Amino acid sequence: MNLLQRMRVWRELKRLEHRVRTEPAPNTFVDLGQVHINLDMHDKAERIAEDGLALFPRSTELRQLLECARRGGRRKRANELKAKLVRAPSPKLYEDLAALQVEINDRAGLQQTCHEWSLRFPGDPGSWHALAQAHLVNFYRDLSAREGVEAVRCLDRALHLQPDDKRGLRLFGELLYRIGAVRLAEARVQRLLRLDPADAGAATLLRHLGDLEDMGDDVALLLDDVQRAGALRHPAPSTGPRAPDQSLAGVREGLTAVASIKGVTKAAFIRGSKALVKGDIRDGRDAFLRVARVVAKAAQRFSRRLDLGTANKTVVEGPFGVVCVCVYGDSLAVAQCVAGSDVDQVLVELQEIVAGALAGAAR
């Protein structure tokens, strides 16, 4: 960038900063943040997006700016780690780089990183941990049997390299009991406790497994069953008593808000095999609920194949009107509305429902 270009950019920054102070609006914050992103100043763009969201918390554009800034910052950090690995490779640097690549959904980069990691440090199970973690993220999100099989393969390799690997034992045990292989999971958790008798988390998990039904030890078959059912077989251990009505109160209020938007005819919140509904929905077998699940999974698989990131929001238009879907993890909010409705507002409300549900589940 020559001196004249720098002066133009500087003037544009000053103009936008003045507008943000005197005429704050979502598009003004977005314009200012985008200039910083173009200048490779993602940390400043992230702060601008956060400042804008403090004033306009429901702005879809500002949320997109924040995601873009964070994604760009992670990519920049990943490039810095790659440069360090060229100079002085170490398992810790590979671990940090792999974790970043999982966050930004850089599957090709992760495969290359883990391949180099395993060649340089063949006795370190960390590369297989990283690959297993990436497959587990995809499995728990989509309940894809293929991703589950790959996670099992990677965890097997990690434990083959280091049989007393506590991290691998924990991840393997959690995956096995969630799909129904409770007895196999117990064996891993018991070994974990023998290695570290003071591990309170493992002790809690072992007690939890004692209350669950074992559905066999054919892991591939169990993974296929989970994919067909669209739900994990067993829940995670409860972290404490929670009143069901309180945990779902925010979801019910959110569905009411969505249903009150002009043009919305149906709205629902789905988690696993359970659903809360609002509008013209007959029962749990209503075709609308099935369509919502199918649309969400199809959009996520399509976006991964094209390396477009994660499809958290999807809009489908047709003679039936418009179906809006917002999904993250195992929480899905969906609404059907007539053509011409305020789709952006519907998506904002659906996002609030999913975010509230995730926050409630974390407490």
Tens digit of each residue's pLDDT (9 = 90 or more) over 232-260: 888 777 544 444 444 566 788 888 888 88
Q: What is the domain extent for residue 104?
A: 89-229
pLDDT in tens, 135-192: 998 888 888 899 999 999 999 999 999 998 898 999 999 999 999 999 999 999 999 9
Domain membership flag for residue 357 = yes
Q: With contact defined as beta carbons under 8 Å apart, do 149 and 143 qualify? A: no
* Over residues 213-227, mean pLDDT: 92
- Regarding whether 124 and 38 lie in a shared domain, the answer is no
Q: Give the residue among 35, 110, 46 at the shortest CA–CA distance from 73.
A: 46
- The CB density around residue 213, as the number of other CB atoms within 10 Å, is 8
pLDDT in tens, 75-114: 889 999 999 999 999 999 999 999 888 887 788 899 999 9
What is the total count of domains within the chain?
A: 3
From first CA to last CA, the distance across the chain in angstroms is 49
pLDDT at 240: 45
> Residue 253 has which token pair?
């209020």
Q: Give the residue among 296, 274, 295 at the shortest CA–CA distance from 283.
A: 274
Global pTM reads: 0.60
Q: Give the residue among 169, 242, 231, 241 at the shortest CA–CA distance from 206.
A: 169
Domain membership flag for residue 235 = no
- Regarding whether 291 and 222 lie in a shared domain, the answer is no
- Regarding whether 220 and 104 lie in a shared domain, the answer is yes
- Regarding whether 207 and 150 lie in a shared domain, the answer is yes
